[in-house]
Structure 1
Amino acid sequence: MQLDSRAQTLLKALVERYIADGQPVGSRALSKISGLDLSPATIRNIMADLEEMGFVASPHTSAGRVPTPRGYRFFVDTLLTVQPIDESTLESKMQSRLKTHSQQKLLSNAAQILSSLSQFAGVVLTPRHESVFQQIDFLRLSEKRILLVIVAPNGDVQNRLLLTEVDYSPSQLTHAANYINQHYGGMSFDDVRMRLKNELRQLRDDMTQLMEAAVDAGSDAMSDHGEEVVISGERNLLSVTDLSSNMTALRKLFEVFEQKTGLMQLLDISSQANGVQIFIGGESQLVPMDEMSVVTAPYEANGKIIGTLGVIGPTRMAYERVIPIVDITAKLLSNALSQH
């Protein structure tokens, strides 16, 4: 729905004032801060029109008005001016936190950076891992106890203990590992499982059991990469009045963090878009609270998008400040992962 320039100016002034102090904004205040040479009566008429269109609402306890989720959306999409940010200073503060050889530590540090800079909650959707292996090895620990060592294409190593019914000799274990690496190296464990059903019939039954046990354990190991969503700074949101002022809102807030399912869906959707995305509460079932917004951006490694990060905060957040924080963090994480 189109708004004329006067209505846009008043809506922008109202949203910015409400974000700044959290109090309903009246017509008298708008006449002072908007810069428009309009009578209070004209401003009241325009605000009544904005309320009728669903951009603002009047709390019962005040003559002033507050933005609705629709008002925030129009403000973010059309009226928002992102603050210039000293990228070099910000990058220098963040670079040391993103220098680590552990990918999981990189993602955890990125979530902490987002939280500390925004003073809200930082969240990172971790990359999806395919159960592809480069090679495996068997190490005999004792009778009927074998250590399965799995090396992923990126060099990550996973270990799993196998308890077998047969006491395999070191030469048998070497033969089995060589067979798997030669025939299946670079494939996913799921693909190997399908091929084993047909191709291992010529081998002895005890070797077949060993290989099938290795595939099952390997598949579990490669899919077990810790938390799918890394969250930092949830406690920051307890000090945000808009989110913690009533028990219902507080309960919904903690359900978001405990269940994580909706959060993962939202982050997964945003990974399919370019640049910063803003999800405002009340617009989508993925954001279960009118008082909550999520600002996200995808991150990549070697030119391929592999995940999403963002900030979870109140709908009444300083978007012009949070947007560049999310954007720069995504770029720096992408650079760190590409060099990893």
Structure 2
Amino acid sequence: MMAHSIIDLSDRARDIFRVVVEAYLDAGQPVGSRTISRLSTLNLSPASIRNVMQDLEEVGLLAAPHTSAGRIPTESGLRLFVDGMLQATDPSEEEQRAIERELTGEGPIEEALAGASAVLSGLSACAGLVMVPRQEMVIRQFSFVPLSDRQALTILVGEDGTVENRVMELMPGTRSSMLIEAANFLTARLGGLTLAEAQTRLAQELDGARHAIDTAARALVENGIAAWTTDPSDRPVLIVRGQANLIDEDAAADLDRVRQLLDELEEKSEIARLLDRARAGTSTRIFIGSENKLFSLSGSSIIAAPYRGHGGRVVGVVGVIGPTRLNYARVVPMVDFTAQTLTRLMQ
């Protein structure tokens, strides 16, 4: 099916399409021609409306579920609506106050993040999601302490005084002088950087120091950084609240889809990777149904927005997950406001 844009539709088709989508998102039921004639200001007979709906179905924007005479938007239709017709409004004052009450800045930041997930779940009637910031230690000093002929303890001291250590394997014949040389190199060249920044700069630094450090010490330097950058604890942490919201009266008729979605929520690492795509954006991202392979079976949508820490750097993502039949016009600005509030809290 070819992609369509709003400008490809006639004024009549655009108006009818908008009414169908908005009525479906509001009630969750197929929308018939008589409903459209009641809701719209179009001076068209139900027969004329049915003809336009048939045209919209043929281009893949609407579908007729089962034997119903009504239509619902397809995922392609929802994407077209969200990108070209969505008229979002600011959260109500009551919604803004509810979000700000949870994000007061009093207590640990972890409580505020969990609160953001919970309040979004309550306001949107979806499951709330928050990806917790990665802990990016800034390097102050490296040390290597030999434990045996084949192992050494790698010690990393951060600018904030935190100390971490890892056991690493040594190449045969590694001398104590090599450990000292590698530690001095790492401290001098990579001090003041985060681990991610250090990993990026390391290749350049080693290439420029080809004659200043021998081959064995070079391997120690590379392995010393790798001991942290490949550590599982560096993975983002995902907070999920309100899964029970996903099981409502409308979902009762489609329990297989709900079970699939709940199974997907258990795969937090996969969802975290999806949310990580929102980190690169400057505004709220919307992932609809099978646009993402993770939700190809459950037909779910995610609305997510990045939030920032010191210096405007993106540190995490907040959002909601629910059925594709979401009130996008209401939930999108709600997620965006929560992200902005978290940003103010963390700066």
TM over 0.5: yes
Match of 2:305 among 297, 318, 325: 297
Q: Deviations over 1:288-323 (max 9, x none)?
A: 346311111111112112222211011111111101
Equivalent in the alignment of 1:281: 289
- Check the 8 A contact 1:262/1:287 in 2, yes or no: no
Give the distance between the partners of 1:323 and 1:27, measured in 2 at CA. 29
The aligned residue for residue 172 of structure 2 is none
Contact persistence 1:24–1:62 (CA under 8 A) = yes
Task: Select the residue among 299, 318, 336 that pairs with 2:327.
Answer: 318
Q: Are residues 1:82 and 2:57 paired?
A: no
Q: Identity of aligned pairs, percent?
A: 35
Structure 2 residue matching 1:73: 3-state secondary structure: helix
Asked if 1:224 is matched to 2:233, the reply is: yes
In 2, Cα distance between the equivalents of 1:219 and 1:94? Answer: 36
Partner residue in 2 for 1:40 = 46
Check the 8 A contact 1:121/1:311 in 2, yes or no.
Answer: yes
1:135, 1:186 within 8 Å by CA — same for their partners in 2?
Answer: no
Aligned partners of 1:158, 1:106: CA distance in 2, in Å? 26
What residue in structure 2 maps to residue 234 of structure 1?
Answer: 243
Question: 279-288 or 316-325, which moves further after superposition?
Answer: 279-288
Q: What residue is the counterpart of 2:177 in the other structure?
A: none
Q: Indicate whether 1:272 and 2:287 are aligned.
A: no
Alignment of 1:7-22 (within 5 A): 7-22=13-28
The question of 1:258 aligning with 2:266 is answered yes
Matched, 1:107 2:113: yes
SS at match of 2:43: coil
Residue 335 (structure 1) shift: 1.0
Describe the SS at the equivalent of 2:295: coil
Question: Aligned partner of 2:290: which letter?
Answer: G
CA distance in 1, matches of 2:247, 2:95: 29
- In 1, Cα distance between equivalents of 2:89 and 2:13: 23
Count of matched residue positions in the alignment of Structure 1 and Structure 2: 315
Q: Return closer, same or farther for 1:161/1:279 CA change in 2, 3 Å cut-off.
A: closer
Q: Match of 1:55?
A: 61
**Cα shift at 1:223:** 6.2
**Contact 1:56/1:71 (8 A) holds in 2:** yes
Give the superposition deviation at 1:132: 3.7
The letter for the 2-side match of 1:3 is L
TM-score (norm. length: structure 1): 0.74
**In terms of mean alpha carbon deviation, does 5-14 or 288-297 score higher?**
288-297
1:114 to 1:152, Cα distance in 2 relative to 1, 3 A:
farther
Output one character per residue of 1:25-74: Cα deviation in whole Å (capped at 9) or x when no partner: 11111111111000111111100000101111112231111111111111
1:221 Cα offset (Å): 12
Please report the RMSD computed on the Cα atoms of aligned residues, expressed in angstroms. Answer: 4.3
Which region of structure 1 is more displaced relative to structure 2, 11-20 or 323-332? 11-20
Moved over 6 A (4+): 159-162, 178-182, 215-218, 220-223
TM-score (norm 2): 0.73
* Runs of at least 5 residues in structure 1 that lack an aligned partner in the other structure: 138-147, 163-177, 201-210
Moved more, 25-34 or 219-228: 219-228
Return the offset for 1:159: 6.3
Unmatched 5+ stretches in structure 2: 144-153, 168-182, 215-219
C-alpha displacement of 1:21: 1.7
Deviation at 1:151?
Answer: 5.8
CA distance in 1, matches of 2:112, 2:245: 21
